[in-house]
Structure 1
């Protein structure tokens, strides 16, 4: 019998907390059922399986990070907005090391809330880029550069990938400064095909 008060939202929130505690790679349905105090078959009344849980966890993490990025960008523009959003992104990844990786999953087209969260997150970066005069196809490239740089940095940091004897925060600041310079000189069109 399912535990009273258990629903899909409670299950996903518990999975997010567990992932942050043990790491996403160690999150299993059995461990989640144990955390919730239910038998594994009872968990299937609320979540269809591991892939469905991963998708819902991704939707949650994407919504959370989008909200934090939007809050950080509010009332800011240019380099100030760029830095604030990058710092918020990094801060989220540090506070939620288990659920953050799931935010990199492409939103499920069948989940309108997941799609909306993804659009909010990307929309924040697009708004910053407008302040640099970057739009259209050039903005797609710039969004990808921002995401690759910041995600790459936080992923390397999370796995202990920075071993050189230099303060990591300083390197992060330098990366954001370099992104600002790149965006201020962004070409309006991409390179020509050869």
Structure 2
């Protein structure tokens, strides 16, 4: 066992786990300024947050305070994080599960201090859609633009952006009923 790994009878020896409550989907796995960042859904009494942990070696993890909390728009579901080198910040994209409508929309938050604090964009949500399923944004840099891939019910949606806030749909695709029946 690696030195410094805590041994507990019912806890994984290497894999990250929450101290309490329920941990869900991993989100936004990034390396930034000497640290690996692991974000994950964190279900605390049916309120969905993003939890956060950091590691220098991917074995020993330090839990940090909750990164992104539910707000007046909705709970914070799956998404991704990127490093925006040009603006020296980390950027998190997440799906809102809206309180009132139960619809799904996309939000964004920014961190300028290695992920220790996060500020949600005041114009959230940044993307909305009338589909029942509109979730799980995955963002990456491609050439001179950012690309977002989203699940859109029975199809996959692709968007592009130059500033990580304003997005234009550039494509979509789906299979036939035998190969794809939804999210």
Name whichever structure is richer in strand by fraction. 2
TM-score with structure 1 length normalisation? 0.27
Name whichever structure is richer in helix by fraction. 1
Give the structure with higher Rg (CA).
Answer: 1
